[in-house]
Amino acid sequence: MMDQKYDYLIVGAGLFGAVCARELTDAGKRCVVIDRRGHIGGNCYSEEIEGIQVHRYGAHIFHTSDAEVWKYVNQFTAFNHFVNSPVANYHGKLYNLPFNMNTFYQIWGVVTPEAAKAKIREQVEKAGITNPRNLEEQAISLVGQDIYEILIKGYTEKQWGRPCRELPAYIIKRLPVRFRFDNNYFNDIYQGIPVNGYTAMIEKILNGVEVKLNLDYLEQKEEFKSISDHVIYTGPIDEYFDYQYGPLEWRGLRFETEILNQENYQGVAAMNYTDAETPYTRMIEHKHFVFDSDPKPKTVITREYPSQWKPGDEPYYPINNQKNQDLLAKYQELAGQEKNIIFGGRLGAYQYYDMDKVIRAALDTAKKLI
Ligand code: UDP
């Protein structure tokens, strides 16, 4: 491979890299994709265990309101009708998510939207919040003190390793609050799981593209640069520049996966443990992402533990505070000075990206190049 001449060397076989490779290849460019992992798919990667597709790097649920992106992915896979409706477990009692009339009924016994709104108003007034300045105040003003205590505080503090009072309000704005009986976690128009798993979908996207695994671009940067006119780099932007200004910070995750000798463990794909004592935030039961006409006799579950991150660990959630934003700006300035290289994807952009946003960004990037 080393003496071949490519138009594009794409570093990273995740969604961003794969979509760029597909578009550029279809436009007649010679592309090669390399990845330091031993598999394609990046963090979307799924593998079969006991006949069940297991999401190795955390649960991925595809959802979008971008009709073009939806049409695009449907070229490579069909999607099932999965709708994310996680259940929260607080000290053994169960509540529906996201926060909706079912949750309000379970917490307060209120049966009308008007009564739920009155309850929340009463609790917001009692807490005396007018202008929410942090996640705690934002959460209380959206759903009241009780829901904050039962469904938000413990989960969020485990997830981020810091008190809610010290976290930015925008984190919680991802979650819908609905005065309807509707347990659909997302507001998007389209939603589902690829019927044969994410790995099969990305394999299809990469169909006919040269892919080399277990190759670390940063270990042989100059050599790799010499075989291609352009590079699309989807690895961590700070690592590319040898962490010269120090590392961008991430929140880590640790997954503990277990095969159980029973058909159905929790009856739902995701159960959130919202108390402070349970050390994990979520329990995923992978088989419930699909609707199998031939139910498997065993089940695979994964506990998700948030963890302190240090350079070298797998990065999951960017810590979007001022310090890291300033650091990112410095790395982006360096990136702007590099010739013939484009930084993209979750790691290259240091962004908490949903999958549809990654595809949108990759399609836009490829369009500009073509
Ligand atoms: N969150 C919460 N309780 C839950 C689920 C989520 O308080 O049961 C909060 C928490 O602060 C989390 C944020 O909502 O960081 C965003 O959650 P989301 O489910 O969007 O995160 P993801 O699934 O992408 O990790």
Q: What is the pLDDT of residue 312?
A: 86
Nearest CA to ligand 1 atom 19: 175
The edge-to-edge listing of strands for the beta sheet with 228-233 is: 210-212, 31-34, 6-11, 228-233, 341-343
pLDDT along the chain (370 residues), means of 10: 84 98 98 98 98 97 98 98 98 98 98 97 92 94 95 97 93 89 97 98 98 96 92 97 97 97 98 98 98 91 96 91 95 96 96 96 97
Q: Note whether 244 and 236 are within 8 A (CB).
A: no
pLDDT value, residue 2: 59
The Cα–Cα gap between 352 and 160 comes to: 14
Which residues have any ligand 1 atom within 6 Å of their CB? 88, 97, 151-152, 155-156, 159, 171-172, 174-175, 272, 274
Distance 270 CA to ligand 1 centre (A): 12
Write the residue with the smallest CA distance to atom 21 of ligand 1.
Answer: 174
Instruction: Judge contact between 302 and 46, C-beta under 8 A.
Output: no
**Element holding 51 (H helix, E strand):** none
47 in Cβ contact with 265 (< 8 Å): no
Q: Which two tokens stand for residue 50?
A: 């006991």
Nearest ligand 1 atom to the CA of 167 is 11
Catalytic positions, please? Answer: 174, 178, 251, 282, 304, 352, 354
pLDDT on residue 45: 98
Of 256, 247, 219, which is closest to residue 347 (Cα–Cα)?
247
Q: Can you give the pLDDT at residue 75?
A: 98
Q: Can you give the pLDDT at residue 4?
A: 81
Rounded Cα distance between 247 and 361, Å, is 24
Closest protein CA for atom 12 of ligand 1: 156
Residue corresponding to tokens 């984190």: 171
Is the torsion defined by CA of 212, 73, 197, 264 positive or negative?
A: positive
Residue 12 CB neighbour total at 10 angstroms: 27
Q: What is the pLDDT of residue 207?
A: 98
160 CA → ligand 1 middle, Å: 10
Alpha carbon of 63 to ligand 1 centroid (Å): 16
Q: How far apart are the first and last CA of the chain?
A: 24
In the reported structure, the alpha carbon of residue 192 is separated from the centroid of ligand 1 by a whole-number distance in angstroms of 19
Backbone angles phi, psi at 52, to 5 degrees: -115, 135
How confident is the model at residue 1, as a pLDDT? 54
Q: Ligand 1 pocket: which of 57, 94, 103, 155 to mutate (most atoms <8 Å of CB)?
A: 155
Calculate the alpha carbon distances from 65 to 48, 73, 187 in Å: 29, 13, 8
Choice from 175, 185, 251, 274 to test ligand 1 binding pocket (greatest atom count within 8 A of CB): 175
What is the distance between the alpha carbons of residues 314 and 322, in angstroms, rounded to a whole number? Answer: 22
C-alpha 309 – ligand 1 centre gap (Å): 18
Beta-bridged to residue 64, according to DSSP, are 190
φ and ψ at residue 329, rounded to 5 degrees: -60, -40
The H-or-E segment that residue 283 falls in is strand 282-285
pLDDT tens-place string over residues 305-319? 999 999 889 999 999
Left (φ > 0), alpha (ψ -120 to 50) or beta: where does 51 sit? left
